[in-house]
Chains A and B, each alone.
Chain A
Amino acid sequence: MPILSLLIFLPLLATALILALPTRYKSSYKYIALAFTAIQFVLAGICYAQFDASKTGVQDLGGYQFIEQLSWIRLDLGSIGKLEIDYLIGIDGISMPLLLLSAFVMLMAIGASWNIQKSPKGYFALLMVLNMAVMGIFCALDFFLFYLFYEVMLLPLYFLIGIWGGARREYAAIKFFLYTLFGSVFMLLIIVGLYFSVINPLTGAHTFNMIYMMNPQNYLEGSIFGWEGYQEILGVSARLIGFIVLFFAFAIKVPIVPLHTWLPDAHVEAPTPVSIILAGILLKIGGYGIIRICYSIFPDMAALSNWWLGLIGVVSIIYGALNALSQKDLKRMIAYSSVSHMGFVLLGIASLTAEGISGAMFQMISHGFLSAALFFLVGVVYDRVHDRNIYSFRGLAQIMPKYTGYVAVAFFASLGLPGFSAFIGEAFVIIGSFNAASIGTGLPRWMALGGSIGILLSAAYLLWTLQRMFFGQIRLKGGESWSNALTDLNSREQIILFPTLALALLLGVMPALVFNNLNASVLNLVSFIQQFI
């Protein structure tokens, strides 16, 4: 059974179905979306269950699982050679957990879209296209295919924010779109460069196969990104430029400081489900891209530049946390906290140690559903009174005790309370990046200490918010009408939140559920890069 293809293209079927059904059946759209996403989740679960944790992946095609390979485009271009684009998909320990996470977060997003009133046909159709694109990104092993999915993803997001968003939705949508496009346009240049540098050892044709791009022996001598005698562009090694351009393309997604300003605007304007997808999946594509593409195709440059990556990570951690501390809009605060938490991912990746990279991967998974839960929780109060200002609320614990309980658990989980998943991720990023200096990866120890300050600050902004909004005597900006509108969580909301937070707890207590599948790939990646230190 071509399980990955099914996983990727099932949503497309859903889109077709939704578009084909006349509008008078509009109440059925969400059920179609839900059903297809649920099937996807089951399929992703089967992938997880059948996954062979001992296989390595990364730069070794034999180490990938569920591989599907079809030749897609073959063109004889005369003197330039043969064009070879494959439909090549497969997963390893790096992509499999993210795939499962995406399916889960999608399910949450559908649940959060339950009350969408504005043209549900377009909404759910676009959501399903987006779903297809993200699944494709995590599975694609052909760079052309990857790029295709990567660009397709932007289209539905643009419309989802631009049409179903808040007051300044058009500004936010364009900002988001241009930011990301800016990164990916240059990525295309590098892809073309790589294409002309790499040949398929079996056929001798140029190829977009990412796995071939990871093997130094497949590079043509004297080609632009060739290993033999580095080519230079304006006096800088071409491989370094390639690495930097790809890094920035993905770093915009992560996002890093100072390329993060699309994120708060996009989050604040986006409807709750889109925020959930943005924080839960999209940011992870950045981290995933850095590991899968930047690090694996340019391992030499990864070893060279990890000091800078670590620095960017630390700056993002602290700067994001400080910004979160001064926010008055709850959603904006959580958006900035995402910047801070994703900084840990970058720091862990930069450490080039097994602990650090595993910690970064774990942090991505954990942040995936924790941030999704946080945005969902913001949506709960916004749905009821259309206000998100922290100072408009006080003493909510007395009106909405269940809600307060969930918020408290989500906050404590996000600030890294042991027992929840974020703790494992952050602790191992710190341990790994501290350890890095001993292995000689060039990451100084003060970066680990700097990163740990982020852990302190995250406690500060989350607890302060908890105190300001939920504790104390009741005082609401909207007075009596608000306290009537602010009903406690309903069962739909609890059905979405409970599994999410339970998962955070489960992974915090049993991190082996993720680490076991991750470990072989991470070790392979680390030893692959270690050759170049």
Chain B
Amino acid sequence: MDQFVHISPLLTALLTLIAPLAAFVYQAIVGKRDQSGLVSLTAIILSFIAGGLTWFSIWNNPAVSIQVNWFTIGETSFKVGILLNNLSTLMLFLVPTVALPVHIYSRAYMHGDTGIHRYWMYLSLFCFAMLGLVIMDSLLLMYVFWELVGFASYLLIGFWFTRETAVQANKKAFLVNRIGDLGFLIGLAILFTQFKTLNLIDLFGDNGLIYQSTIAQGLWISPVNSLPQIWLTIAGLAFFLAAMAKSAQFPLHVWLPDAMEGPTSVSSLIHAATMVAAGVFLLATVFPLFNESALLFIAIIGTITAALAAYFALGQYDIKRILAFSTISQLGFMMVGIGIGTWDAALFHLTTHAFFKCLLFLSAGAVIHEMAHLKEHSHLDFDPQDLRNMGGLRQYMPKTFVLMSIASLALAGFPLTSGYLSKDSIVISSFEWAISKGNLYLIIPISLILVSILTAFYIGRLLFKAFFGEFRLLKQLQGKLHDQPLHEAPKTMLIPMFVLGLFCLFPLFSFNPFSYHDSWLMDGLLLDEYAFSPSHSAHLIIPVILLLGSGIGWIIGWKWYVQNKYPLNAASQGLKAAFNQGYINEFYQAVFVNGTLKLAQFCYWFDLHIVDALISLIQFIVLSLSQLSVWIDKYIVDGFVNTVATVAYWTGNQVRLVQNGKIQTTLYSVFLLVLLGLIYLIFF
């Protein structure tokens, strides 16, 4: 082992990052000629090994970083560098650890798809972007990878680009994420203005600039600049806006359920385990920036998101959408963890969630895979993702059932699973935090407890409806198929699921299955002192409440969904609202999308009929003036000249009559001239 440790962690970290990039470039160049995906798979295996080595040598050791100059603008040099500390290496290892099983799984799941070369290319790009995001040492570079992650997600959601819903969904995802990106950019601008650097070590390292800055007399004073105090809050909220979009927090959560249009393997890796957690990671990174009000806001949004998403999950029938809402809900929990100041707990939940949510999606994918095959063979038209078409799958896919149950228990926070440890750490901490703050704050932990119970219920509903009872399509299928309608998933899919299943259990995270304080992960993130005092009774009572609540929920669920004693009216307003996600999408469509389009149309109308018309008006005026001057020229200036000419001509003509050669006429005109001369002399 020793010689491994001697390899520089910087080198291994770079290898972790570059392997997927190389695979992406390779796949982009060869295109259709290589559909196997072996290069991408090899790359992620390399990443996994190198990431593991990096993590192993950095964990609980001093942070390591390296920088090279990138460019200089004005007097500021921007550098490219990587920063390896506990937080970043944890993520650096986590990402390939989840991505590797997904890659293996995809080889079976995506088999035979005509565009599979694109799939591998995008997947490698995503891994590269995600890994880059976690180890970059400056906020500018994080922003770069932050958007690249969103771009990769755009490509993968719209992987089946001939489907209208898929291309609508990826556009929506990118645009909603863009709103968050603006927050990130504004956060960057504020920090750069205030500190003249975006380097993480300079800002947040030991005795970093953030810690050196103070608040005095309404000003936020850093060693190099000062801004009005409000900008500190705005900076915090700007970064939170970024996290809200990426981590699908209310009210920007709307893109995630739609993102389920992508392949299920993608949903499991990107829209459940890694990318959506990037927001939590970002907040943990910039945590020292947040002041009281920003933190409280984060906690409140987290709670609302957790509650709302759990409620929406209850009304869904699409198996992937239920899981999507459960992801949103769990991300809400993590946000609360950040908001109450225990970002180590948030990160812990992020880690455990990555595994069990990934497994949940992969299991759902196995089910969908089989259902889709059935649809193909039987020529029946049904939605392979709809729970109402499933039921009794336990008999056909027992291994999938067991694995999915383990993951569901972890999600519900059942003892002996990893979810128990991490979720309790957030709920209990929030309780302790609320006690130290005051009674009103208790709303947050109480909501979280209720949401946890609801979580157990909706995931129970999913399991009961899909795996228990009778297979609902059996009647329609009669006579159409020769053997069993459904089979267990192929080994290539099952093995990665099995590995993830192991990761859903407690021993991997803590040797004491009942106390998160013993978890190596929480220890390693070294947030030894919370701002509030621990409460021993909470450690005992809350888990018991949660367990009892979940148990009752499952019993009810069993009665309703397995024994078919469903007492509620499915058409009731409450359930319809849950199914339609609270009509939020419709509201956004009507107000923001149509509003913007209307505004855009108005602008174009304005451009054509006001701005350009003004130009036309000027043109008209100039032309009219020139016509006027033509008229003047013709009838006045020229007219005068012509009149003079005409008069002269006429006079000439008259005078000509005199020259007729007769002596009388000559004498007569001489006389006339003399007369005229005399008149002139007399009168003038």
Binding site for B on A (CB under 8 A): 175, 257-258, 260-261, 319, 322-323, 325-327, 353-355, 358-359, 395, 397-398, 412, 417-419, 423, 427-428, 430-431, 434-435, 437-438, 448-449, 452-453, 455-457, 459-460, 463-464, 466-467, 470-473, 510-512, 515-516, 519, 522-523, 526
Contact = CB atoms under 8 A, between A and B. Distances in A.
Interface string B144-167: 110110010000001001111001
Interface stretch (B69-77, B297-305, B437-445, B548-556): B69-77
A449 to B, nearest CB: 6
A472 B601 contact: no
A523 B75 contact: yes
Contacts of A419: 144, 148
B494 to A, nearest CB: 34
A123 B657 CA distance: 66
A358 B614 CA distance: 35
A471 B164 CA distance: 8
Given A431-B193, A438-B193, A512-B72, 19 more contacts: A257-B611, A261-B612, A322-B596, A323-B604, A325-B597, A355-B73, A355-B74, A398-B162, A418-B147, A431-B185, A431-B189, A456-B179, A456-B182, A463-B175, A464-B171, A473-B162, A512-B70, A512-B71, A515-B72
Contact of B162 (A427, A431, A435, A472): A472
Contacts of B74: 353-355, 358, 519, 522-523, 526
B603 interface: yes
A333 B607 CA distance: 13
A258 B72 contact: no
B185 to A, nearest CB: 6
B36 to A, nearest CB: 20
A160 to B, nearest CB: 22
A519 to B, nearest CB: 6
Nearest to B160: A471
Q: Contact residue range for chain B?
A: 35 or more
B597 A326 contact: yes
B215 interface: no
A232 to B, nearest CB: 28
The 8 closest A-B pairs by CB, nearest first: A354-B74, A434-B189, A418-B144, A512-B71, A325-B600, A326-B600, A471-B167, A322-B603
Contacts of B225: 438
Interface in B169-193: 171, 174-175, 178-179, 181-182, 185-186, 188-190, 192-193
Nearest to A332: B604
Contacts of B147: 417-418, 423
Interface string B590-624: 00000011011101100100011011000000000
Nearest to A358: B73
B596 A460 contact: yes
B560 interface: no
Where chain B touches its partner, the secondary structure class is helix
B56 interface: no
Given A417-B148, A463-B174, A471-B162, A323 B73 contact: no
Contacts of B69: 512
Nearest to B166: A471
Given A464-B171, A471-B162, A459 B612 contact: no
A456 B175 contact: yes
Nearest to A461: B600
B161 A471 contact: yes
27 contacts: A175-B615, A257-B611, A258-B614, A261-B607, A261-B615, A319-B607, A322-B603, A326-B600, A326-B601, A430-B186, A434-B193, A435-B193, A437-B193, A448-B186, A449-B186, A452-B182, A455-B178, A455-B185, A456-B175, A456-B178, A460-B175, A467-B168, A467-B171, A471-B162, A471-B167, A522-B74, A523-B74
Contacts of A515: 71-73
Nearest to A515: B71
B227 interface: yes
B71 A471 contact: no
